[in-house]
Amino acid sequence: MVCSSSLVRLSLTLLLLTGCERKASQPRRALVIAQPRAVESLDPPRNTTAEGAQVVSLLYEPLIRIDGASGRVMPGLAARWSVAPDGRTWTFHLRRGVRFHDGSPFDAKAVVYTIDRLRNSRHPHYHQGYAAWQNIVRNITAIEETGRFTLRLVTKRPFAPFLRNLAIFPLGIVKAQPLDRAISKTVALTPVGTGPYRISSHQRDEVILTRNPHYWGPKANVERLVFRAIKERRQRMLGLQSGTLDVAFGLAPADRPIVQLHPELRLQRGRGDNVAYLAMNTRRAPFDDVRVRRAINHAVDKGLIVKLGFQGLATVAHGALPPSVWAYTSKIKRYSYDPARARRLLGSVGYDPERPLRLYVMSTPRPYFPSPVLVARIIARNLARVGIPITLVVKSHAEHLAAVGRGEHDLCLLGWVGDNGDPDNFLYMLLDRDNARIGSAQNVAFFDHSKVHELLIAARQELNRAQRKELYLRAQQLIAEEAPWVPLAHSEYDVGVRHDIRGLSLSANGIIDFARARF
């Protein structure tokens, strides 16, 4: 009797143990990721939001990749490349043995197709949604297949940021479709890619990706990725807390401390290649006078703005380039917060406001501006203190962009998230006269300085990194002297993540490479 009882106990224990073990060792195979809005499209260049970029970059790969940690240019679908001495002719040797998700081989034809349909508005498979990205391929004058795995691209002029432009997600390579017949809607909406994940299902508010078992590179660790659009930030937070979500983008500042206090969650932080700034409209009085612009730079309390308007999750900016960009320099003129000096400067100009100046601000929070109206109010208060009355003009983000693009403002708040970590992407886009055309200006200070222009153009065409850096250093110094902006802050990103998920890193444009995620 004793014997049988202990036997029973033993067998039971074994049974339960194996049961438990199975349960414990069963791998988690899916990550559920919440984003604040739905993915626009699975066709890469039809996306303009971070949400779309995040999903698309797992499905399609560009020729070039920017390393998330170092920010350096790495081989993508192009294994190597070279540029001819003229600086305009680029030869790309493609990676061999890569297959598209449908099993067909990847070759130069797909690259030609991808770039052609984006740059040529008359291409039979062009879509009007591509317009936003045409500028990254505009300077390509010729593209030709020189072999099955080689191709040649020619640019109008030597163009240093060329390689980095090829790394932007809209240039993820898609499988070529026959041009002679109309592309089917399904194919147009979800082209075939080569990435570490492929599409499993796509609904309006949910995209499910599964691991590509034939991926050419190191295969992804996680079997499935579920991207869910959850608009309500409280719902995202609740999902994270209760364990139904593994990753949540777009946390509210108020939710961050809760994530920090939760032992099973953590904040995944990443530096952002971005800048938030106050632009002065240099075409108008009083900002056509550099002394007034300098006075404004002394009048704005950036430290307070970073504390109150960013809750400390940012660093004070002194120039347009974030420190993570290689051409960043600290050797430029810095303007300390000094209202007395600002007043003296304004007094020396004899500036006498006849009307309040208009400060334009968006009501919608942006990645680089968590609370824009608050920042605007602080600035208005700062300027009032040095004798400049301010009227705030608050508009939705879309309207704000349109109005400042037309140059209606005296002052405006705006920011920029770098696409590819190239200094040209900041300095040329935001401060060159080429981009100060009324109506579509990115340079909303309408800063027009011929020496700066010369330097920026030269830097674009200079392929030697050291010499480029020198050119950018001089441009940045000049810009700081001329003070068309009050650079405000470079903010950080953070994402709420379950603590047992590893291998995540936020790249500078806020995208996570989930192919490297593991438990």
Partner 1 sequence: MATALVPLVIAAAVAHEVTLTRLELSLEIRARKNAQIALNLLLQHVQRVRDEVEAFARAPDLIELLTLQPSLVPALVRERARVMTPAVVEVADRRGKTVARANAPGANAPPEKTFHGGLALLKALNFERYITLAQVGKDVVIRAAVPVVDNEFSLRGVVISTVALDDDLAGYFKGVLRAEVAFVANNRMVGTTFLQRGRTMGRAELLTQITKALGADHPVLSLGGDDDGEFVVAAIPLQSAAGERVGSIVVGLDRDEFITARRGAQRALLFAFIVALFVALAGATMFGGHITVPLSRLHRGILAMAKGDRSHPLDIDTADEIGELARSFHDMRLALDEHERRLADRISELSTLHHVGRTLGSVLELDAVLRIVVTELSKVLRVERCALLTLREKDGELLLRAHAGLGGEEGPPALPPTWLALAAAAIAEHGICVDGRHLAVQLETRDKALGALVLARAADLPEFSEAAMHLAETFAGQAAAAIENAGLYQAVRRFSEGLEREVEKRTAELRLANVELERTLSELKETQTQLILSERLAGLGSLVAGVAHEVNTPSGAIQGSVQILPETLNRTLVLGARLAEQLSADEMRRMLATLSEARPRLAKHGVRPPAEVRRQAARLQRDLSALGIKSAKRLAQKLVACGAEYLAPFVVELADRSDPNDVVALIENLAFLSRGIGAIETANKRIIRLVKALRAYSHADPDALVEVEVTDGIETTLTILHTQLRGVSLVRKYREVPKILVYVDELNQVWTNLLHNAIQALEGEGTITIETFVDGDEVGVNITDNGPGIPSDVLPRIFEPHFSTKPRGEGTGLGLGIARKIVEKHGGMIAVESRPGHTSFTVHLTVAGPRRDEATSERERV
> Is 359 or 479 the residue whose CB approaches partner 1 more closely?
359
Other C-beta atoms closer than 10 Å to the C-beta of 504 total 19
CA 78 to chain centre: 22
> Is 187 or 392 the residue whose CB approaches partner 1 more closely?
392
Q: Evaluate whether 408 touches 415 at the Cβ level (below 8 Å).
A: no
> Is 185 or 355 the residue whose CB approaches partner 1 more closely?
355
Enclosing H/E stretch for 491: strand 485-498
3-state SS assignment for residue 188: helix
> How far is it, in rounded angstroms, from Cα 335 to Cα 513?
38
> How far is it, in rounded angstroms, from Cα 322 to Cα 305?
17
> Is 147 or 303 the residue whose CB approaches partner 1 more closely?
303
The CB-of-185 to partner 1 minimum distance in angstroms stands at 34
- Exposure string for 191-206, b = 16+ CB within 10 A, e = fewer: bbbbbbbbbeebeeee
390, amino acid identity:
I
The CB-of-280 to partner 1 minimum distance in angstroms stands at 18
The three-point CA angle 46-48-52 to 5° equals 80
> Is 378 or 506 the residue whose CB approaches partner 1 more closely?
378
The CB-of-155 to partner 1 minimum distance in angstroms stands at 41
Q: Where are the alpha helices (DSSP H) in 148-184?
A: 162-165
The CB-of-518 to partner 1 minimum distance in angstroms stands at 21
Kindly state the tokens that stand for 320: 């347009």
> Is 49 or 260 the residue whose CB approaches partner 1 more closely?
260
The CB-of-26 to partner 1 minimum distance in angstroms stands at 16
> Is 392 or 473 the residue whose CB approaches partner 1 more closely?
392
> Is 399 or 470 the residue whose CB approaches partner 1 more closely?
399
The CB-of-496 to partner 1 minimum distance in angstroms stands at 13
The CB-of-356 to partner 1 minimum distance in angstroms stands at 6
Q: Evaluate whether 94 touches 111 at the Cβ level (below 8 Å).
A: yes
Residue 510, phi-psi category: left (phi > 0), alpha (psi -120 to 50), beta (remainder): left
Kindly state the tokens that stand for 467: 């010499």
Closest CA relative to residue 158, chosen from 429, 443, 424, 338: 424
Strand partners, 247: 33, 497
Contacts to partner 1 by CB under 8 A: 1, 4-5, 8-9, 12, 16, 241-243, 254, 257-258, 260-263, 266, 301, 304, 307-308, 311-312, 355-356, 358, 363, 373, 377-378, 380-381, 384, 389-395, 399, 403, 408
The CB-of-258 to partner 1 minimum distance in angstroms stands at 5
Closest CA relative to residue 479, chosen from 329, 255, 326, 258: 329
